[in-house]
A = this chain, B = another copy of it.
Amino acid sequence: MSPVRVALLGCGTVGTALVRLLAEQAEDLTARIGAPIELAGIAVRDLSRPRGDIDPTLFTTDALGLVTRSDVDVVIELVGGVEPVREWLVEALRAGKSVVTANKALLAQDGPALHAAAAEGGADLYYEAAVAGAIPLLRPLRESLHGDTITRVTGIVNGTTNYILSAMDSTGADFADALAQATALGYAEADPTADIEAYDAAAKAAILASLAFHTRVTAADVYREGITAVTAADMASAAEQDCTIKLLCIAERIDGAVSVRVYPAMIPRKHPLAAVGEAYNAVFVEAEAAGELMFFGRGAGGAPTASAVLGDLVAVGRNRLSGMRATAESVYADLRVRPIGEALTRYYVRLDVADRSGVLAAVASIFAAHDVSIATVRQDGQGDDATLVIVTHRATEAALAETVRQLRELSGVRAVASVLRVEGS
């Protein structure tokens, strides 16, 4: 049986785990694919770095040369980032090499170009590892729920921020301390920007929304807010409401359009996503017929990500041997992306107010004037220390923003101390 020959791009944590698994599982993989897998080469930036017991003749710095070599069947890309990876993958796909990638940034920015190249070359493009690491999620969305209509996807898709927010919730730490702890334990990178500013989660949200709603959503379509502004006081406010705060990626279909956004939000403790702690990921899916589904597991790490890559590799290998191809990208729905101002959610608003007659009435009338309906209101304290806590029904972001703007100008309101979105209730 002629082997499936694999070019590996990148040999960091995931790549090293993958090479190890390829060796350890060689027998099972051969049985599952119907042919052995053989490493044809590994492209790295630095040839001088020690690579353990991996055959040194496999390494090259010429990624483009490797992926287009005639003896390569499949390309596994674990380098990440948009450039120069895009060219390597486009050329590989055009040359008929199937690609397995974990590159969410590239997929979220330029997915259509990759899919087009795959169609041109008659090759497969698989990317289970790009969202929620080891959790089998994309294939279920793409295939299992094909006969259903997904209405909403709510996910915790970034382990670093979930670790930080979980620590803030359980210890009362503020953001800076929790980030320092995450960095010390290896959950946050030296430059944590992509995680804490939610660029990573936004890319994943774009991929999830595209698959869930059979339409094209790119990273630029995703409204994004990171977690750097979440305070210990916010977390305490959430706890008072029997909630916690999670960085949520939300993709929903409303009136023939999609809304895709990533932001920290309060979520009730009884919601299945609230219990997702540490660096775990989970994605909650609501579908018309299937109802509520949740997928839970490790979102990152060498071995978990390598597991997802290997699952794709087996699929690609089997397709290759049987002359099949994966089902192509399905974007027939072509839905409009709603701007963030149209997004509908509930809000928690905490105001420091002067406790004098008429303030509550003035506050309530500002909410009413913008059609932001109040669900609950609670006033604590007296005199200049009074606090007004308001939770609204669903309203648009635009209406809430204008409400908050006017509240800031109201004479009885000393400060808008906290504004948090409330999801999942």
Contact = CB atoms under 8 A, between A and B. Distances in A.
Contact of A308 (B290, B297, B307, B330): B290
A56 B140 CA distance: 35
Interface in A286-308: 287-298, 301, 303-304, 306-308
B143 A307 contact: no
A314 B149 CA distance: 13
A235 to B, nearest CB: 21
A375 to B, nearest CB: 25
A310 B21 contact: no
A194 interface: no
Contacts of A214: 28, 31-32
A135 B333 CA distance: 24
A327 B139 CA distance: 15
Given A275-B275, A297-B294, A28 B149 contact: yes
A291 B310 contact: no
Q: In the assembly, how many copies of this chain are there?
A: 2
Given A136-B140, A140-B136, A147 B303 contact: no
Interface centre among A32, A288, A322 (most CB of B within 10 A): A32
Interface residues of A, number: 56
Contacts of A296: 272, 292-296
A419 interface: no
Contacts of A310: 146-148, 289
A144 B148 contact: no
A312 B292 CA distance: 19
Given A214-B32, A296-B294, A311 B145 contact: yes
Interface of A: 17, 21, 25, 28-29, 31-32, 128, 134-136, 139-140, 143-149, 214, 272, 275, 287-298, 301, 303-304, 306-315, 318, 322, 324-325, 327, 330, 332-333
13 contacts: A28-B149, A28-B214, A32-B330, A134-B289, A134-B291, A134-B293, A136-B293, A148-B311, A272-B296, A290-B297, A290-B304, A291-B304, A295-B295
